[in-house]
Amino acid sequence: MNFSLSSLFQMARRASLVGAAAVALGAFCGGIAGAATLHPGDKVSISVYNHPELAVTSATVDSTGRISVPLAGLVQAENLSPRQLSRNIEVKLAPYVRRVAVDVQLLSQGQNIFVTGGPGGVLTYAPGETITGALAQIQNGTATQGTPSTAADPTLSAAHNLQNGSYGSVDLHHVVIKRDGRTLPPIDAEQLIAKGNPGPALQPDDTIVLVDKPIAVVVKGEVRDPGTAHLDADEPLANALLQVGGADAVTARTGFLLTRNGTEQVVTASSPQYRQPAQPGDSIYVAHTATIGVVGQVYKPGDVVLKGDNSLLSALYFAGGPTTYGDIRHVAVLHQGVQTQYDVTKLTHGAPSQNPQLADGDTVFVPEGHKIDFQSIFRGIVSLTFLRYL
């Protein structure tokens, strides 16, 4: 039977496509079904269509997460699905094999210990492995794979890593193990390490959950329970006030003093920092606040909220100051039903008794006086008086 060159080419092309399809079909006919991603210790088989010399009957994902493939060399496999690994091998073999078609099958899954949070990673399980032994493998902020360090003292290795900052911000006082869909009681791994106690034994496929240390925020000033609030890494700064009983409507409106990285700033409920996560080293100071009613001959009559400096002069200042004919020689302060009169002009002669501290709910009244420019006098008083506003 004679065939033209064109027909021979078409037959070869069909055969190549059929062969590639057969390789792809292998994914449904063998291997472990439902395998999501590969990890160190997993065993796979590799077949290359029409190139049996490149086949690998059994390859183990090594501690670095790679496998060795003829011609392709070392290929990254960890966290890839068998299909994704097939595509990567095809790319590696493309310069050497025409119309390459690769099939990777998962033969068996290795026994691993998974670490989430902190440095993260996958550790190869060995019988007798303990929680401190697993933590001992976390070095320089990276979870290392391989045979657990059971020959040396694992608690000593873990203590060394802890001292050298390998755990970063991880809270070793609350380490959790997840096993067979269950969450075991938290373990104080830091205490185990300090006492040289290896801790509980691990089992294959255990997951060690590492969480960040809580952020300590110091809260001082006018709050119910001044002290230190402890927040999770993603908790907003406002929650620090909730913990110490200081987040009321007045505080949210007038704000508080936040010290962060050596810089002071006033934060209110409308500030972005109020709802953003706290940062290590944050410190909050909540000053005493008072809402004062200021009426009469002032430019901005109404309620003013004072913080830190609750003096009469501050109340007049935040009310816009007296009008031209606002008589600041006869300012009346109503406190709990009792009226007291003050002469603010005497502050120019150093009379602090004429600048009393006001209390929440007080009312200040500035009467109309004679045609004297009291506004100019008030400005002079303010320029001579040291005011501190938070």
In a domain, 48, yes or no: yes
Q: Which two tokens stand for residue 108?
A: 């068996």
Average pLDDT along the chain: 79
Name the band, by pLDDT with cuts 50, 70 and 90, for residue 246.
low
Question: Do both 158 and 76 map to the same domain?
Answer: no
Question: Do both 59 and 31 map to the same domain?
Answer: yes
Question: Do both 312 and 341 map to the same domain?
Answer: yes
Q: Which residue has tokens 């303010």? A: 382
Asked whether the beta carbons of 238 and 274 are under 8 A apart, the reply is: yes
CATH of the domain at 67: 3.30.1950.10
Report the C-alpha gap between 370 and 326 in whole angstroms.
9
Per-residue pLDDT tens for 31-58? Answer: 554 457 888 888 999 999 999 999 999 9
Domain, as residue range, for 69: 12-108
In a domain, 309, yes or no: yes
In a domain, 4, yes or no: no
In a domain, 7, yes or no: no
For residue 110, which of 123, 129, 128 has the smallest C-alpha distance? Answer: 123
Asked whether the beta carbons of 112 and 124 are under 8 A apart, the reply is: yes
Alpha helices, DSSP H, located in 112-200? 131-136, 154-163, 189-195
Report the C-alpha gap between 313 and 295 in whole angstroms.
14
Question: Do both 323 and 371 map to the same domain?
Answer: yes
Per-residue pLDDT tens for 77-128? Answer: 988 999 999 999 999 999 999 999 999 999 988 788 888 887 777 787 878 8
CATH of the domain at 280: 3.10.560.10
- pLDDT value, residue 156: 47
List all residues 6 or more positions away from 272 whose beta carbon is below 8 Å from its beta carbon: none
In a domain, 2, yes or no: no
Mean pLDDT of 312-333: 90
Q: What total of structural domains would you count in the chain?
A: 4
In a domain, 334, yes or no: yes
Mean pLDDT of 263-289: 86
Report the C-alpha gap between 89 and 100 in whole angstroms.
9
Question: Do both 134 and 202 map to the same domain?
Answer: yes
How many other C-beta atoms are found inside a 10 Å radius of the C-beta of residue 347? 24
Q: Which two tokens stand for residue 154?
A: 């694992």
Question: Do both 172 and 205 map to the same domain?
Answer: yes
Residue 287 backbone phi and psi in degrees, to 5: -80, 160
Among 108, 135, 154, give the residue marking a domain's end: 108
Among 108, 125, 143, give the residue marking a domain's end: 108
In a domain, 160, yes or no: yes
Q: Which two tokens stand for residue 308?
A: 């830190």
Residue 84 backbone phi and psi in degrees, to 5: -65, -40
DSSP H or E stretch at residue 275: helix 272-275
Report the C-alpha gap between 225 and 246 in whole angstroms.
8
In a domain, 1, yes or no: no
Asked whether the beta carbons of 132 and 192 are under 8 A apart, the reply is: yes
pTM above 0.85, yes or no: no
Q: Which residue has tokens 């602090």? A: 352
